[in-house]
Structure 1
Amino acid sequence: MNSRLNIIAGFKGGKSYVKDLYVSLPFRVVSVGQRKDDNKLYQMVMSSSPGILDGDHYQLEVSLEQGASLQLQSQSYQRLFNMKDKAVQELNVLMEDDTSFAYVPHPVVPHEDSNFKSQAKINIGKNSQLIISEIITCGRKHYGEVFKLKRFQNLMEIYHENKLVIKDNVLIQPDLIPINSIGNLEQYTHQGTLIFYSTKNDVHKDQLIETVVEDSERVKGEMEIGVSAMENNGFVVRALGHGGEVMYNFFLHIQDILWDLDKKNVEDCVKF
């Protein structure tokens, strides 16, 4: 099935709003931030399908006009079902100047013999910030499907002023790369990546990283967390663990810290 989701976040009168929205089956988009008073836009992507099936091609187009802030949320865990061939998802995000975009979806659950490739291309404008993550699980552990997928790949490219600033490529292919080998996942069953990138001048990157590292102590024993600083105003959080829910909740906590940087100091962030 070829499925499309197109959303344009506009900005008018100091508020972000849905300027245009188009979806085809199985997608549905609903507003979830009615009680927030920050004038930002909160949308949840929902699906009538139980998961991604063989031959599916999902194409998501997201645009933020100047001044807009959009936070996308997912409905539930994303299941990748048994496939004879493969499924593909494309995400294209265009961020104009003075925008904020966040997308921290639920974990992905690859079933046995699933073959999935996700490609994301993001163009970020001036004085803007991006928060985006991904969590990949081992599959249906209680069904004995621990990394019995054929192949999983998530390729992400982030551009600023037509220059590639970040490229992240996660590839899991158990028949080619032993998943439990040294330098790979070793004894862990879940892997997560969260990327924060900002083109603003007043981002206290080192302080933010210190906050994330300090908060990771609360989940020590359940996850291993590492943070890599970028040359510019950004960092990458890598997580390894044995459960998707703990990792997902920790990523949501990081998102909360980063989302309202324009309204609070790092010291005022709620601790995990």
Structure 2
Amino acid sequence: MNSRLELVAGYKDGKSYVKDLYVSLPFRVVSVGQRKNDTKLYQMVMSSSPGILDGDRYHLEVSLEKGASLQLQSQSYQRLFNMEDKATQLLNVSMEDNTSFAYVPHPIVPHESSNFKSEAQIHMGKNSQIIISEIITCGRKHYGEVFKLKRFQNLMEIYHENKLMIKDNVLIQPDMIPIHGIGNLEQFTHQGTLIFYSTKENVDKDALIESILNADEANNADMEIGISAMENNGFIIRALGHGGEMMYNFFLYVQEKLWSLP
């Protein structure tokens, strides 16, 4: 199935709003910011499908006009079903000046023989920031499907003024890469990545990293995290653990901390 989502976040009279929205099956987008007391936009991406199926091609286009702030949320865990061939997803995000975008979705659950490639390209304007993450689980552990997927890849590129600032490539292919080997996941079953990048000038990334490392959420015995600071205003969090919910809640905590930055 070829599925498409197009969302334009506008900004008017000091508030962010949905300026344009188009979805095809199985997508649906609903507002979830009714109880927020700020002027930002909160939208949840929902799906009528139980998960991503063989041959699915998802295309998501997200645009933020000058001044807009958009936080996307997911409905539930994303399942990747058994596949003869593969499924793909393409996410394009265009951010004008003075914008903020956040997307911290639920974990991905790859079933046996699933084959999925996701690509994301983000183009950022001046005085803007992005928070984006992914969590990949081992699969349906209680069904004995521990890393029985064929292949999973998530390729992310972030540009500023048409210059590539960040390129992150997560590849899991158990028949070629020893997933439990040294330097890979070893004894862990879940891997998470959260990227924060800002083109603002007043971001104290060192203080943010220190506060995240010292947070109770980060000091969980069942999860290990590491943070790599970038040369400019940004950092990448890598997390390893044994549960998706614990890691997801930690990423939500980090998102909330960064989302409130001026």
Tell me the TM-score range normalised by the shorter chain.
over 0.9
TM-score by length of 1: 0.95
* Cα deviations by residue, 1:32-80 (Å, 9 ceiling, x for unpaired): 0011121100000000000000000000000000000000000000000
| Structure 2 CA distance for aligned equivalents of residues 229 and 212 of structure 1 | 12
Q: Which residue of 2 aligns with 1:238?
A: 238
Q: Which residue of 2 aligns with 1:11?
A: 11
Deviation at residue 218 of structure 1 after TM alignment: 4.9
Deviation at residue 159 of structure 1 after TM alignment: 0.2
Q: What is the identity, as a one-letter code, of the residue corresponding to 2:47?
A: S
Q: Which residue of 1 aligns with 2:92?
A: 92
Q: What is the identity, as a one-letter code, of the residue corresponding to 1:45?
A: V
Deviation at residue 12 of structure 1 after TM alignment: 0.2
Deviation at residue 220 of structure 1 after TM alignment: 2.5
Q: What is the identity, as a one-letter code, of the residue corresponding to 1:147?
A: F
Q: CA RMSD in A?
A: 0.7
Q: Which residue of 1 aligns with 2:26?
A: 26
Q: What is the identity, as a one-letter code, of the residue corresponding to 1:149?
A: L
The answer to whether the 8 Å contact 2:212/2:218 transfers is no
Distance 1:217 1:249, change over 3 A: closer
Unpaired runs of 5+ residues, structure 1, are 263-272
The answer to whether the 8 Å contact 1:216/1:225 transfers is no
TM-score by length of 2: 0.99
Q: How does 1:62-81 map to 2 (within 5 A)?
A: 62-81=62-81
Mapped pair 1:49 → 2:53: no
Q: Which residue of 2 aligns with 1:164?
A: 164
More divergent stretch after superposition (137-146 vs 30-39) = 30-39
Please identify runs of 4+ aligned residues in structure 1 that moved more than 2 A: 216-220
| Structure 2 CA distance for aligned equivalents of residues 47 and 57 of structure 1 | 14
Q: What is the identity, as a one-letter code, of the residue corresponding to 1:69?
A: S
Q: Which residue of 2 aligns with 1:142?
A: 142
| Structure 1 CA distance for aligned equivalents of residues 45 and 110 of structure 2 | 19
* Cα deviations by residue, 1:158-191 (Å, 9 ceiling, x for unpaired): 0000000000000000000010000000000000
Alignment: residue pair count: 262
| Structure 1 CA distance for aligned equivalents of residues 157 and 7 of structure 2 | 20
Mapped pair 1:255 → 2:251: no
The answer to whether the 8 Å contact 1:8/1:62 transfers is yes
Deviation at residue 219 of structure 1 after TM alignment: 3.6
* Cα deviations by residue, 1:190-226 (Å, 9 ceiling, x for unpaired): 0000000000001011000001110156543110000
Distance 1:223 1:15, change over 3 A: same
Secondary structure (helix, strand or coil) at the match of 1:257 reads helix
Secondary structure (helix, strand or coil) at the match of 2:214 reads helix
The answer to whether the 8 Å contact 2:218/2:250 transfers is no
Unpaired runs of 5+ residues, structure 2, are none
Identity %: 80
Q: Which residue of 2 aligns with 1:175?
A: 175
Q: Which residue of 2 aligns with 1:152?
A: 152
